[in-house]
Amino acid sequence: MGRDLGFDIVYRGETRDWIPPGRYVFFQRLKEHGGGYWLGQVYDDWFSFVVEEPVSLRYGIEMLQTIAGQKRGIFGAKNYRKPMLLRAKQRFSLR
Protein backbone atom coordinates (compact mmCIF):
# COMPACT_ATOMS: atom_id res chain seq x y z
CA MET A 1 0.00 0.00 0.00
CA GLY A 2 1.32 3.44 -0.84
CA ARG A 3 4.57 2.19 -2.33
CA ASP A 4 5.15 5.32 -4.41
CA LEU A 5 4.93 7.54 -1.34
CA GLY A 6 6.49 5.00 1.04
CA PHE A 7 3.69 4.57 3.57
CA ASP A 8 1.69 1.81 5.18
CA ILE A 9 -1.68 1.73 6.93
CA VAL A 10 -2.29 -0.14 10.17
CA TYR A 11 -6.06 -0.52 10.56
CA ARG A 12 -7.92 -0.91 13.85
CA GLY A 13 -7.19 -4.29 15.42
CA GLU A 14 -4.17 -5.02 13.21
CA THR A 15 -0.61 -5.39 14.40
CA ARG A 16 2.78 -5.35 12.70
CA ASP A 17 5.78 -7.41 13.78
CA TRP A 18 8.18 -5.00 12.10
CA ILE A 19 8.05 -1.75 10.15
CA PRO A 20 11.13 -0.63 8.21
CA PRO A 21 12.83 2.42 9.79
CA GLY A 22 12.02 5.68 8.03
CA ARG A 23 8.66 4.45 6.71
CA TYR A 24 5.58 6.63 7.03
CA VAL A 25 2.63 4.93 8.75
CA PHE A 26 -1.03 5.74 9.28
CA PHE A 27 -2.48 4.25 12.46
CA GLN A 28 -6.27 4.17 12.39
CA ARG A 29 -7.89 5.45 15.59
CA LEU A 30 -10.91 3.96 17.29
CA LYS A 31 -14.25 5.51 16.31
CA GLU A 32 -14.95 6.05 20.02
CA HIS A 33 -11.95 8.40 20.10
CA GLY A 34 -13.00 10.38 17.04
CA GLY A 35 -11.69 8.19 14.21
CA GLY A 36 -9.14 9.41 11.72
CA TYR A 37 -5.49 8.43 11.61
CA TRP A 38 -2.27 9.23 13.38
CA LEU A 39 0.38 9.89 10.77
CA GLY A 40 4.02 9.52 11.60
CA GLN A 41 7.38 8.15 10.64
CA VAL A 42 8.77 5.02 12.28
CA TYR A 43 12.35 4.67 13.46
CA ASP A 44 14.18 1.91 15.33
CA ASP A 45 13.35 3.21 18.78
CA TRP A 46 10.80 6.01 18.35
CA PHE A 47 7.84 7.32 16.40
CA SER A 48 7.81 10.86 14.99
CA PHE A 49 4.46 12.51 14.32
CA VAL A 50 4.22 14.21 10.92
CA VAL A 51 1.10 16.04 12.09
CA GLU A 52 0.41 16.48 15.81
CA GLU A 53 -3.30 15.78 15.51
CA PRO A 54 -5.39 13.04 13.92
CA VAL A 55 -5.94 13.48 10.18
CA SER A 56 -8.16 12.02 7.49
CA LEU A 57 -6.51 9.52 5.19
CA ARG A 58 -6.96 11.89 2.27
CA TYR A 59 -5.31 14.82 4.05
CA GLY A 60 -2.46 12.60 5.24
CA ILE A 61 -1.77 11.33 1.72
CA GLU A 62 -1.78 14.91 0.44
CA MET A 63 0.80 15.75 3.14
CA LEU A 64 3.00 12.86 2.01
CA GLN A 65 2.69 13.95 -1.62
CA THR A 66 3.83 17.43 -0.61
CA ILE A 67 6.78 16.01 1.33
CA ALA A 68 7.75 13.75 -1.60
CA GLY A 69 7.51 16.70 -4.02
CA GLN A 70 9.75 18.83 -1.81
CA LYS A 71 12.36 16.08 -1.61
CA ARG A 72 12.32 15.64 -5.39
CA GLY A 73 12.50 19.38 -5.85
CA ILE A 74 15.56 19.70 -3.67
CA PHE A 75 17.50 16.58 -4.59
CA GLY A 76 16.19 15.58 -7.99
CA ALA A 77 15.75 18.81 -9.89
CA LYS A 78 17.73 19.17 -13.11
CA ASN A 79 18.66 22.74 -12.28
CA TYR A 80 19.83 21.91 -8.74
CA ARG A 81 23.36 23.18 -8.13
CA LYS A 82 25.62 22.02 -5.38
CA PRO A 83 26.60 24.80 -2.97
CA MET A 84 29.64 26.73 -4.12
CA LEU A 85 32.68 26.27 -1.93
CA LEU A 86 35.30 28.98 -1.89
CA ARG A 87 38.88 27.88 -2.07
CA ALA A 88 41.45 29.42 0.21
CA LYS A 89 42.89 31.55 -2.61
CA GLN A 90 39.51 32.88 -3.74
CA ARG A 91 38.22 36.10 -2.26
CA PHE A 92 34.66 36.93 -1.55
CA SER A 93 33.47 40.49 -1.30
CA LEU A 94 30.08 42.07 -0.70
CA ARG A 95 31.01 45.43 -2.24
Residue partners of 58: CB distance under 8 A and separation at least 6: none
Least reliable range by pLDDT among 70-74, 76-80, 90-94: 90-94
Query: Residue 68 is inside which H or E element, if any?
Result: helix 57-75
Query: Which tops the pLDDT comparison, 7 or 4?
Result: 7
Tens digit of each residue's pLDDT (9 = 90 or more) over 9-41: 999 999 999 999 999 999 999 999 999 999 999
Does the pLDDT at position 86 exceed 50?
A: no
Q: Greatest CA separation found in the chain?
A: 67
Classify residue 35 as left (phi > 0), alpha (psi -120 to 50) or beta: left
Query: Which tops the pLDDT comparison, 62 or 74?
Result: 62
